């Protein structure tokens, strides 16, 4: 039982960080399918930078990279008005191709020897982050403006709020949290492999939707999906086929969107300029 609980935490906390990264962008009005790609890039650069510069500087440089990718996402969606889903998928494809190419080009024997920040620090951040984001969203001026930009950007403009500016800051927050999630994945497996995020970005987005775009609820949904993954690993498909466990996040999300699980209110300004 203790091993199962540990495995559940190990599987859940990276999902929590990625889901909260999605909260920063989606609650402000930017659909973020690109969580998978940003986290994959974070994994790659967490190994590349930490093995050369050490854990602290490696994490800081990884945050810079994922923040720059988030800046690109902001430019595509807010300046050039590209479709949010298409731009997010483009980031995912770019990340998958770029990490595979650079790994083959510069580290054909494998990219390892990572020196990640202390795992316990990253896990602690993942545990307290939902409460911190709830406080930021409901008790601060930025949080009110952030929710306003995601709920009704036109009305926000009438109140003197710049939705594009708020979304810029939200996407930078996305980059920071994706960097933390990637560093945590590398802390558990200090070697980069192609596609090592294994769909966690999509699962975290599913948890965010299931949680009704609320930080604490999204974290609880991540715990549910993490527990399902831990059970799959623990019992190795003995009672239920592993494919059924893997399909659980997507099935639950479809049920939530269809209205069979709770009453989730999609931010009205999601995807709007």
Task: Provide the 3-class DSSP secondary structure of residue 112.
Answer: strand
Residue pair 20/134 in contact (Cβ under 8 Å)? The answer is no
pLDDT digits (tens, 9 = 90+) for 45-68: 999 898 889 889 999 999 999 999
Model pTM score: 0.93
pLDDT digits (tens, 9 = 90+) for 167-213: 999 999 999 999 999 999 998 887 888 999 989 999 999 899 989 99
Residue linked to tokens 């930025």: 142
- Residue spans of the domains in the chain: they are 17-198
pLDDT digits (tens, 9 = 90+) for 89-142: 999 999 999 999 988 887 766 666 667 778 899 999 999 999 999 999 999 999
Please check the confidence at residue 262 and state whether its pLDDT lies above 60: no
**Phi-psi region at 74: left, alpha or beta (left = phi > 0; alpha = psi -120 to 50):** alpha
Strands (E), the chain: 111-112, 191-192
Please check the confidence at residue 265 and state whether its pLDDT lies above 80: no
Output the average pLDDT for the chain: 89
Task: Provide the 3-class DSSP secondary structure of residue 33.
Answer: coil
What angle, rounded to 10 degrees, do the helices at 200-210 and 215-235 form? 130
Residue pair 151/268 in contact (Cβ under 8 Å)? The answer is yes
């Amino acid at each position: 039982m203790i091993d199962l609980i540990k495995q559940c935490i190990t599987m859940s906390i990276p999902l929590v960080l990625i889901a909260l990264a999605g909260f920063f962008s989606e609650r402000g009005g930017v659909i973020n399918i690109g969580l998978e790609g940003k986290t994959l890039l974070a994994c790659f650069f967490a190994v590349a930078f930490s093995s050369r510069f050490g854990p602290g500087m490696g994490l800081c440089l990884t945050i810079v990279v994922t923040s720059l990718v988030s800046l690109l996402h902001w430019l595509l969606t807010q300046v050039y008005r590209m479709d949010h889903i298409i731009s997010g998928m483009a980031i995912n494809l770019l990340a998958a191709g770029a990490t595979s190419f650079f790994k083959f080009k510069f580290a054909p024997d494998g990219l390892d020897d990572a020196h990640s920040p202390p795992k316990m620090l990253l896990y602690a951040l993942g545990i307290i982050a939902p409460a911190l984001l709830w406080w930021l969203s409901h008790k601060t001026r930025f949080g009110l403006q952030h929710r306003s930009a995601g709920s009704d950007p036109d009305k926000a403009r009438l109140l003197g709020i710049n939705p594009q500016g708020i979304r810029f800051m939200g996407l930078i927050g996305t980059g920071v949290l994706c960097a933390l999630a990637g560093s945590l994945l590398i802390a558990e497996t200090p070697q980069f492999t192609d596609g090592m995020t294994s769909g966690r970005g999509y699962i975290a987005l599913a948890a965010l939707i299931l949680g009704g775009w609320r930080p604490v609820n999204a974290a609880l949904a991540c715990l549910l999906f993490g527990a399902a993954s831990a059970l799959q690993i623990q019992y190795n498909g003995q009672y239920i086929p592993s494919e059924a466990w893997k399909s659980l996040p997507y099935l639950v999300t479809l049920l939530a969107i269809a209205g069979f699980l709770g009453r989730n209110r999609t931010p009205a300004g999601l995807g709007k300029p």
